[in-house]
Homo-oligomer: A and B are copies of this chain.
Amino acid sequence: MCELFAMSSRYPADVRFSLEEFSRHGGLAGHHKDGWGIAWYEGGDVRLVKEPTAASDSACLGFIQDHPFRSTTVVGHIRRATQGRLTLANTQPLTRELGGQVHVFAHNGDLDGAGLRRSFHLGAYHPVGETDSEYAFCALLHRLSRLWREPKQAPPVEMRLALVSEFAAGLRALGPANFLYADGDALFVHGHKRTHADGIRPPGLHLLCRACTAESGAFTAEGLSIEPAGIAQEVVIAASVPLTAGESWRALADGEIVVVRGGRIVQPGESHHE
């Protein structure tokens, strides 16, 4: 299965060490040799770096680790191909513009392609690659385009959550549907099923909330370092599997969606079991 990673923070944070851990999952420690990508918000836009090759061998990922960036929203993906060739277009995260904002999507799971095409329409959004994940992203944007009527004005988060929840429920009927979706204002984290030792079952995503001040110094204590420490930083991290030991990662329930903004959970997560 693919690996997902996301970070939302109150102040721009340096996610260098988590990328290292993430990279190990992508080839050295894990079995995800088919591609990797990282997208992060910067100056109203998104930087996207991705390659259809193993993260562990990547000179490009090494360069990012040597020249760390700061951002308040990061989405990462490591691919084990189940659909589509090993091309750049089939590598995630995926980005598109809607309402004058760059939207980012990363999906983990194997969806029923025919069912996807029956259940979801795309409007003006056409996939560039061949994956079920990109088809799903196009379908999500097509649905959300109803809401994003005024450029640069994010619709109320409750309205966006309602559409994302409806979309996620439709997706879950077609296969494992863990996804991360950022729209320039909020980050939506949707947990579902994933391949475990005893079969395909929840959890598909784990969540970690951290708060830190200069006094606590908690940010550098573990393998996952989110800089800068020394300010009243707040961070939410989502990952397929817990990236650190000794911290209270919480498994997302089947169909749970959490909305995060500026390092804080703004929608407490509702369960939509089927």
Contact = CB atoms under 8 A, between A and B. Distances in A.
A268 interface: no
Interface in A148-184: 151-152
A129 interface: yes
Number of copies: 2
A96 to B, nearest CB: 6
A88 B126 contact: no
Contacts of A88: 42-45, 47
Contacts of A99: 126
Interface stretch (A23-31, A59-67, A192-200, A247-255): A59-67
Contacts of A96: 97
27 contacts: A43-B52, A43-B87, A43-B89, A43-B90, A44-B87, A44-B88, A44-B89, A44-B129, A45-B89, A45-B129, A59-B63, A59-B67, A60-B63, A60-B67, A63-B63, A96-B97, A97-B125, A97-B126, A97-B128, A99-B126, A100-B126, A100-B128, A101-B128, A102-B128, A124-B145, A126-B151, A126-B152
A48 interface: yes
Given A100-B128, A101-B128, 9 more contacts: A42-B88, A43-B87, A44-B128, A45-B88, A45-B89, A45-B129, A60-B63, A63-B63, A97-B126
A182 to B, nearest CB: 14
A4 to B, nearest CB: 20
A90 to B, nearest CB: 8
A22 to B, nearest CB: 20
A228 interface: no
Interface in A108-127: 124-127
Interface residues of A, number: 31
Contacts of A47: 88
Most buried by B among A42, A97, A151: A97
A267 B149 CA distance: 39
Contacts of A48: 48
Interface in A15-47: 42-45, 47
Interface string A81-102: 0000001111000001111111
A47 to B, nearest CB: 7
Given A59-B67, A67-B60, A126-B151, A45 B102 contact: no
